[in-house]
Chains A and B, each alone.
Chain A
Amino acid sequence: MRNVITYVIAFLFILTLNFLLPRMLPGDPLMAIYGNEALIAMTPELKAHLVERFALDQPLWQQFGAYLLALVQGDLGHSYYYNSPVSSIVLGRLPWTLLLVGTALIISTLSGIVLGIESGWRRGSRRDKSLLTSLMAVSGFPDFFLGILLLIGFSVTWKIFPLSGAITPYSGLSGAALVLDVLHHLFLPATALTLSYIGASYLLTRNTMVTVLKNPYILMAKAKGLPDRVVRYQHAGRNALLPVITQTGIQLGRMVTGALFVEIVFAYPGLGYLTYEALLARDYPVLQGVLLIVAVSVLIANFLVDLSYSKLDPRIRYAH
C-alpha cells in the first residue's frame, strides 16, 4: 500500500534534484541557475543581491534552506528572459494545458469505454478484431508523431485548421466567436492526444468485460429476455467501468507529459511549449519552475487516485 510517506520521498527527491543539479555543475553556480545569457546584462549590485538571496556564499545545507524558504513563499525564481517572476509566467500558461489535457482525457476515456464495451461484448468477432488492430496500431504511434501527421494533413496540406497557437492573434474576437476560435485551435492538438491515449482505456475496458461477462447476472439478464443493448451497457458495461475510472487518474500524469510534446508540435502556448522555449533559450529558472509544478501536480493526482483506489474497490491490487 502506497501511503503519504511514499509521496513525501518522491517530493523530496524532486526538490533535491531541482536544487542540486544547477549547483553541482562546474563553474559559477549563479551562471547555472540563471543561464549564461541572463547574466550578460547583470549589474554587480544585482549579482551580489542574488548571491545573498540564494545564500550562495553559505554551506550547501543553508543554501537548501534558502531554496526551500523561497519555495514555501511561492517564489519560483525570476526569469531574466521574460523579465518577470516564473510563477506568473507558469500561471499564465497553465490554463491552456489544463484545457488541452482535460478535453483529451474526457474524450479519450469516454470513447475508449464505449469502444471497449462493444469490442469485449463479442470478443473474437470481426468488429472486435478490426477495432483491436486499429486501436493498437494508433496507440503505437508516438504522440508527437500523431500530432505531426495531423498538422501536415489538416493544416499544411488542406489548410482546414490553424498551423499554431491557441487563438488568432490581434483578432479582437469576443463572445461566441472567441470560443469558436479557441475550439478551432484546440481541435488538432486535442485529437492527437486523444488518439494516443484512447488505446489504454479501450484495452482495459475490453479486458474487464471479459471477466464481467462470465458473471451469472449476465446470464440472468439475458435469460430475462432483456434487449442486447441493455445487458451490454447497463449490466456488463457499468460493472466494467470501475478499473477504467481509477486508471484514468493514473493516465492523467502520463497525459500531462504527453501534452508537453503535442504542444510543441502545434506551438500551443501551454506548459509544454513553455518548457521547449525555456530549453531553447536556456532559461533555467523557467525550466525548473515548470517541471517542478508539473511533477508536483502529477504526484498530487497520483496521490488522490491512490486514496480513492482502495475505497472504490478493495479487490484491485497494485500490478504496476
Chain B
Amino acid sequence: MHINPKQEIRHSKFAMFGIGMLLFLLIIAIFGPLLTPYQPNSQTPFAFESPSFNHWLGTNHVGQDILSQLIYGARTSLLVGFLTALLATILSAIIGTSTALAGGLYDKIVMRIVDAFIVIPAIIVIILVAAYLKPNLLVLILLLALLGWQGGARTIRAQALSLKEMGHISAARSFGASNLYIIFRHILPDLVPILLMGFIYGVRRAVFMEAGLAFLGIADPTTVSWGMMMHEALDFCYLNVWRWWLIPPGVALSLTILSVTGIGHTLEGALDPRLRREANA
C-alpha cells in the first residue's frame, strides 16, 4: 500500500510535462504584475489594434491590452484551481476518515448526503446560484469547494475502511492509541497518494468550471479570466481578431487542464495495481 508518488511522476514524460507547464504558469501568475506593462482593466481609446511592439497581442474591443489580460488570467485560473482543490481535499479527508472510523449513524447520514450530491450535476447548481448571487472570486471558490468534495470523500472513506482493518492499526489500538492518533500517524500518510490525486482532479475541475462560468458571462466582471476573454472575443469571431484574442486564452486554458490531467493520469496509473506496470507509458 505504500506508494511513492514522486517516483511515479518522475518516470512519466506526460507527468513531467505537466509539472513543468504548471511551474511555468505559476511563475507567470506570481510575477504577473511585474511582467505586464499595462493594467489588465485599464481602457484606452485604441480598440481592436493588431499585435505590435506596444501591444504584443493587440488590444480588445475596449482597448485593453490582451497580453496583460492573458497573464492576469493565469492568476485567476490558478488561484481558483488550487484554493478550491485545497479546500475540497481537506473537507473530503476530514469527512472520509471520520466516517470510516466513527461508523454508525453519523457515517450513514453523511454518506447519504454525499451520495445525493454526487448525483446532482454540480455545474447546474453553480450556474443557478451564480446567476442570482453574482459571486466574487472568493465566494466562487467557496461555492466550488462546497460542491466538489463529495466524490473524494467516498474514495477516501473506502480506502480508510480497508486500512482500518490492517494489522499495524490493530497493533496501535492494542497499545491504546486514540482514533485521532491513528488517523494522523497511520491512516493519513497512506492516504497521501489518493489525496494528491483528488487534489489534482479537483484543480482540473475548478479551473474548468471557473472558465465555463466566465465563458457564460456570469463570473465577477471585474476579475480578468481566460473564460471571460473568450466570452468577449467570441462575439467578434467573424473579424480576424480571433487570432490573438480568442485563441491565446483558449490555448492557455487547455494547456493548464492538459498539464493537470498529465499528472493526474500518472498518479491514477500508479494507484491502480492492474495498470502499474505501464506507469511509464
Q: Which residues of A come within 8 Å of B, CB atoms?
A: 2, 5-7, 9-10, 13-14, 17-18, 21-22, 25, 32, 123-124, 128-129, 132-133, 136-137, 139-142, 144-145, 148-149, 151-152, 156, 163, 207, 210-211, 253-254, 256-257, 260-261, 264-265, 275-276, 279-280, 284, 287-288, 291, 294-295, 298-299, 302-303, 318-320
Contact = CB atoms under 8 A, between A and B. Distances in A.
A302 B238 contact: no
A210 B274 contact: yes
B274 A124 contact: no
Nearest to B262: A136
A302 B122 CA distance: 14
A128 B154 CA distance: 32
Given A10-B119, A207-B274, A275-B127, A25 B254 contact: no
Nearest to A137: B258
Contacts of A276: 216
B278 interface: yes
Contacts of B275: 207, 210
B123 interface: yes
Interface in B121-167: 121, 123-125, 127-129, 131-133, 151, 154-155
A287 B131 CA distance: 9
Interface stretch (B83-91, B108-116, B185-193): B108-116
Contacts of A288: 128
B280 to A, nearest CB: 10
Given A136-B265, A320-B154, A302 B119 contact: yes
A275 B131 CA distance: 11
6 contacts: A6-B116, A9-B112, A9-B113, A21-B128, A136-B261, A140-B258
Contacts of A13: 116-117, 120
B237 A156 contact: yes
Contacts of B237: 148, 151-152, 156
SS of A interface (majority) = helix
Nearest to A18: B128
Interface stretch (B34-42, B43-51, B68-76, B207-215): B207-215
Contacts of A152: 237, 242, 246-247
B112 A5 contact: yes
Given A260-B123, A265-B234, 20 more contacts: A7-B116, A9-B115, A10-B120, A13-B120, A14-B125, A21-B129, A25-B132, A123-B281, A124-B278, A136-B14, A140-B254, A140-B257, A142-B211, A142-B253, A145-B230, A148-B230, A211-B274, A253-B121, A261-B212, A299-B119
B120 A299 contact: yes
A264 B211 contact: no
Interface string B250-281: 10011001100110010000001011001001
SS of B interface (majority) = helix
Interface string B208-242: 10011001111000000000001000100110001
Contacts of B124: 257, 291, 294-295, 298
Contacts of A163: 238
Residue among B120, B133, B261 facing the most chain A CB atoms (10 A cut-off): B120
A151 B275 CA distance: 37
A13 B113 CA distance: 10
Nearest to A132: B281
Contacts of A9: 112-113, 115-116
Contacts of B129: 17, 21
B118 interface: yes
B274 A148 contact: no
B116 A17 contact: no
Nearest to B129: A21
Nearest to B127: A291
B112 A7 contact: no
A133 B14 CA distance: 9
Given A25-B132, A142-B257, A124 B116 contact: no
Contacts of B262: 136
Nearest to A320: B151
A298 B120 CA distance: 8
Complex A-B, nearest 10 residue pairs according to Cβ-Cβ distance, in ascending order: A140-B258, A9-B116, A145-B250, A10-B116, A6-B115, A141-B254, A302-B119, A21-B132, A298-B121, A257-B123
A2 B212 contact: no
A280 B112 CA distance: 36
Contact of A7 (B113, B119, B154): B119
Contacts of B216: 261, 264, 275-276, 279
B226 to A, nearest CB: 9
A299 B238 CA distance: 39
